[in-house]
């Protein structure tokens, strides 16, 4: 039997959004793309036909004569438009917009499933988390967000399977930021002592585009804290906020109050070398124990303790041996015993993040058909 068509709205056409559209264009059985939006503009399939937008990228979509163009639409209007489609609908949110995330319950209650790499909504107040999942149940809709942690790596799906089949997850530990992975793998490689200065490594990473435009957005640890919040909640802990547990910031105290303007970024990068000796001391002290320092997140499920910060690791450990900007996530569980279940690989980048989104989309389509 031929499955009924599924209607798709996509918001966000940045790095992940663009990579996602190019993967979507090669689906053997694609959903009908009926809405594509970026911050300033929206293209819509005209109603009531809801014909497919022939889009492999934003430019093609925006240049298609038959589609309707409007400015930015409020989330409520996007939800109403998708809910009116003559079949099940899915929203793919490829933004990192907290406001769009706050409207997921509106979509879900209307029966529109949500697929997204946007971690903001899932790591905000616990009340929003609960609202998202109760709205999904109410609307008989699905929420998949694999790429909110570790990009396309099978992290959330693995944790969900462990929990759903009754395993007892005791501890989750790992390197959750591609940026911080690169910084520490370069600053303190496990292969032997390095003379790299911390500020020079940060500058290099910024140059390579591995950091956010403002490197403090990586160094403050909040990105890692948001990912830990999501994992901890899936493991059953009621984490109230992403800043409700200890987070060690790598922004020197003295530079914490610099403004977030372009000038502020420049001043931060200029003054960062003043603190190289602090980071060198940490590296040396790890080295004296035959270890290396890494920036990790850990969740002690039994003791309900979540924390993010620097820790020393044996040089022959898997965490110390990470390469490039790879992530590593270790699940310690009752069934897996003393050796954890480990997932490792690139945890950032447009293509692999979009892959997690595309794979989630396929799973939701499978469930709706």
How many angstroms separate the CA atoms of 132 and 124, rounded? Answer: 11
* Span from 126-134, 146-154, 218-226, 229-237 in contact with a second copy (CB under 8 A): 146-154
Q: Are 126 and 44 in contact (CB under 8 A)?
A: no
Q: Is 344 in the site for a second copy (CB under 8 A)?
A: yes
Q: Is 359 in the site for a second copy (CB under 8 A)?
A: yes
From the CB of 92, what's the least distance to a second copy, in Å?
13
From the CB of 364, what's the least distance to a second copy, in Å?
10
CB neighbour list of residue 171: distance below 8 Å, 6 or more residues apart: 298, 299, 300, 301, 302, 330, 331, 332
How many angstroms separate the CA atoms of 224 and 178, rounded? Answer: 10
Q: Is 240 in the site for a second copy (CB under 8 A)?
A: no
Kindly tell me which of 153 and 230 has the beta carbon lying closer to a second copy: 153
3-state helix, strand, coil in the chain (%, to 5): 40, 20, 40
Q: Are 293 and 282 in contact (CB under 8 A)?
A: yes
Instruction: Single out the catalytic residue among 109, 120, 227, 283.
Output: 227
Q: Is 90 in the site for a second copy (CB under 8 A)?
A: no
CA distances from 147 to 10, 15, 23, 153, 179 (A): 16, 14, 15, 8, 16
- Interface residue with a second copy among 157, 194, 204, 220 (CB under 8 A) is 157
How many angstroms separate the CA atoms of 108 and 34, rounded? Answer: 18
From the CB of 342, what's the least distance to a second copy, in Å?
4
Place of tokens 């099978």: 154
| Residues touching a second copy, count (CB under 8 A) | 45
**Beta strands 326-333 and 341-346, pairing class:** antiparallel
Using CB under 8 A as the binding rule, the residues of this chain from 6 to 25 that contact a second copy are: 23
Kindly tell me which of 234 and 352 has the beta carbon lying closer to a second copy: 352
List beta partners, residue 295: 310
Q: Is 276 in the site for a second copy (CB under 8 A)?
A: no
Six-digit token string for 39: 């911050």
Asked if 227 is an active-site residue, the reply is yes
Q: Is 161 in the site for a second copy (CB under 8 A)?
A: yes
Instruction: Please give the positions annotated as active site.
Output: 227
Residues contributing to the site for a second copy (CB under 8 A): 1, 23, 26, 140, 152-154, 157-158, 161-162, 164-167, 191, 316, 318, 321, 323-324, 326, 331, 335-346, 349, 351-352, 354-355, 358-359, 362, 366-367
């Amino acid at each position: 039997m031929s499955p009924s068509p599924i209607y798709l709205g996509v918001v966000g056409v940045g790095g992940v959004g663009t990579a996602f559209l190019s993967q979507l264009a090669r689906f053997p059985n694609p959903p009908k793309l009926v809405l594509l939006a970026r911050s300033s503009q929206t293209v819509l399939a005209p109603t009531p036909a809801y014909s497919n937008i022939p889009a492999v990228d934003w430019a093609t979509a925006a240049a298609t004569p038959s589609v309707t163009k409007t400015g930015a639409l409020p989330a409520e209007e996007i939800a109403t438009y998708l809910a009116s489609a003559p079949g099940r609908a899915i929203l793919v949110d490829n933004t990192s917009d907290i406001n769009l995330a706050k409207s997921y319950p509106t979509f879900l209650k209307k029966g529109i499933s949500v697929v997204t790499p946007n971690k903001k909504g899932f790591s905000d107040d616990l009340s929003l988390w609960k609202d998202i999942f109760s709205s999904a149940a109410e609307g008989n809709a699905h929420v998949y967000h694999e790429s909110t942690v570790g990009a396309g790596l099978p992290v959330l799906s693995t944790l969900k399977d462990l929990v759903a089949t009754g395993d007892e997850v005791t501890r989750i530990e790992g390197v959750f930021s591609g940026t911080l992975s690169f910084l520490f793998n370069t600053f303190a490689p496990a292969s032997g002592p390095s003379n790299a200065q911390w500020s020079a490594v940060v500058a290099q990473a910024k140059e390579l585009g591995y950091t956010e435009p403002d490197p403090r957005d990586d160094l403050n640890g909040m990105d890692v804290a948001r990912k830990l919040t999501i994992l901890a909640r899936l493991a059953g802990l009621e984490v109230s906020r992403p800043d409700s547990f200890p987070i060690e910031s790598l922004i020197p105290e003295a530079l914490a109050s610099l403004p977030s303007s372009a000038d502020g970024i420049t001043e931060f990068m200029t003054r960062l070398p003043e603190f190289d000796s602090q980071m060198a001391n940490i590296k040396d002290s790890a080295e004296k124990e035959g270890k290396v320092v890494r920036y990790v997140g850990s969740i002690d499920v039994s003791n309900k303790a979540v924390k993010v910060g620097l820790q020393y690791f044996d040089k022959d450990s898997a965490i110390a041996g990470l390469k490039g900007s790879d992530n590593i996530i270790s699940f310690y569980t009752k069934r897996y015993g003393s050796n954890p279940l480990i997932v490792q690989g690139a945890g950032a980048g447009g293509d692999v993040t979009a892959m997690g989104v595309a794979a989630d989309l396929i799973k939701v389509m499978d469930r709706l058909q």
